[in-house]
Amino acid sequence: MTLLSGAQVHFLFQGLWWTVVLSVMAFVGGGLLGFVVAILRVYGPAFVRNLTMLYIKLVQGTPLLVLLSLTYFGLPTMGVTIDPLTAAGLGLSIYVSAYLGEIWRGCIESVPRTQSEAAECLALNWRQRLVHVILPQAVKIATPSTVGFMVQIVKNTSLASAIGFVELARAGQVINNSTFQPFVTFMLIAALYFALCYPLSVWSRRLERKFHVANR
Amino acid sequence: MRYEFDFSAPLTYWPDFVAGAATTLGLSMVATVFGFLLGVLCALGTTGRSAWVARVCNVYVETIRNTPLLVQIFIVYFGLASVGFKVDAFTAAAAALVINVGAYTSEIVRAGIQSINPGQLEAAECLGLSRRQVLTHVVLPPAIERVYPSLTSQYVLLMLASSITSQISAEELTAVANRIQSDTFRSVETYLLVAAAYLALSLVMRVAFWGASYVAFPRRRRTGTTV
Residue B226 has pLDDT above 60, yes or no: no
CATH 3.90.79.10 fits domain A6-214 = no
Q: A53-109 pLDDT, tens per residue?
A: 999 999 999 999 999 999 998 888 888 888 999 999 999 999 999 999 999 999 999
CB contact under 8 A, A190 and B72: yes
Mean pLDDT of A112-122: 93
Which residues of chain B does A77 touch, with a Cβ-Cβ cutoff of 8 Å? 3, 185-188
CB contact under 8 A, A201 and B198: no
Extents of the domains making up chain A: 6-214
Which residues of chain A does B72 touch, with a Cβ-Cβ cutoff of 8 Å? 190
The residue range of the domain holding B157 is: 26-171
Reported ipTM: the value is 0.89
- Residue A169 is nearest to which of B71, B174, B181, comparing CB atoms? B71
Give the residue from chain A lying closest to B80, CA to CA: A183
pTM: 0.90
Q: List the single range of B65-69, B137-141, B155-159 with lowest mean pLDDT.
A: B137-141
CB contact under 8 A, A189 and B81: no
**Res B221: pLDDT:** 60
Residue B3 has pLDDT above 60, yes or no: yes
Mean pLDDT of A47-56: 95
CB contact under 8 A, B187 and A65: no
**Within a domain: residue B136?**
yes
**Within a domain: residue B16?**
no
Q: Considering its fold, how many domains does chain B have in total?
A: 1
Residue B97 has pLDDT above 50, yes or no: yes
**Within a domain: residue B147?**
yes
**Within a domain: residue B227?**
no
Q: Name the average pLDDT for chain B.
A: 91
Q: B27-75 pLDDT, tens per residue?
A: 999 999 999 999 999 999 999 889 999 999 999 999 999 999 999 999 9
**CATH code of the domain containing B81:** 1.10.3720.10
**Res B8: pLDDT:** 86
Three-state SS annotation for chain A: CCCCCHHHHHHHHHHHHHHHHHHHHHHHHHHHHHHHHHHHHHHCCHHHHHHHHHHHHHHHCCCHHHHHHHHHHHHHHCCCCCCHHHHHHHHHHHHHHHHHHHHHHHHHHCCCHHHHHHHHHCCCCHHHHHHHHHHHHHHHHHHHHHHHHHHHHHHHHHHHHHHCCCCHHHHHHHHHHHHCCHHHHHHHHHHHHHHHHHHHHHHHHHHHHHHHHHCC
**Res A1: pLDDT:** 46
CB contact under 8 A, A155 and B181: no
Residue B85 has pLDDT above 90, yes or no: no
Mean pLDDT of A111-132: 93
| CA-based nearest distance A62→chain B, Å | 5
| CA-based nearest distance B137→chain A, Å | 31
